[in-house]
Amino acid sequence: MENDSRSSDPKLVIDTFREVVRSRRSVRKFDETPLPDDVIRDCLELAMLAPNSSNLQPWDFHVVRSPELRKAMVPACFGQNAARTAQAMIVVVARTDTWSAHCRDMLKQWPGGEVPKLARQYYEKLAPFNYAQGPFGLFGLMKRLVFGVVGLFRPVPRFPVSPAEMKLWATKSTALACENLMLALRAHGFDSCPLEGFDEVRIQKVLKLPRSHSVVMIVAAGKRSESGVYGEQFRFDSDRFVHFL
């Protein structure tokens, strides 16, 4: 009963929420505690469970642990404190290949090349609807209506077909993947900080990434340093922007 009363204390709830928000926003310094390989791998496995249409958004995770590489990345990350003190820099690259390429990649994941019948049917049944978007939209719509009425095919969710749609889709799903990653790190007793700005071209050169790769987000990870939890930060003045009418 005592725990229940504490959990229902409004002040305690507000104070806890405030600490969580401030720590997520303000952590900019990590100590020298290394991140174990199994922790990073487990966190990245959870990051890949981010929701996205048909689970057809693959990512490349580049875990930068080498001191030399991390030092080279600091200028490309505009010298942010998190970049200077992080024990690992996780660069998340969203692949923006075509939708059909994603289907082929998914079918190649099964060992031995033997794709389960249900999985093959799931991806291959989408083939008749490849022209449902773009200049053949009307033709594709008619095909959907005909097959939907006769019950030969199930309705298929809309998928991105243009490079612009792929980029938008990849960015949204990658943001969810990075959120999963940061929550997983916190569950393992570590902390993280999404870098608020970086030079994408210089990052690609440091890591020798293909130019076709687009860096979506970089997460600095490590053990939080108590001396750097609530460091100096820029903020809007609430007295100027909060108006009571």
Query: What are the pLDDT digits (tens) for 58-109?
Result: 788 999 999 999 999 999 999 888 899 999 999 999 877 766 666 677 677 7
Closest CA to 198 of 85, 79, 69, 30: 79
Tell me the CB-side half-sphere exposure of residue 2, using CA atoms within 13 A.
0
pLDDT of residue 57: 75
Residues of the chain with pLDDT under 50: 1-2, 127-136, 151-157, 230
DSSP state, residue 66 = -
For the chain, the average pLDDT equals 76
How far is it, in rounded angstroms, from Cα 122 to Cα 175? 26
Beta-sheet strand order (sheet of 214-222):
59-64, 88-94, 214-222, 191-194
- Per-residue pLDDT tens for 2-12? 455 555 688 88
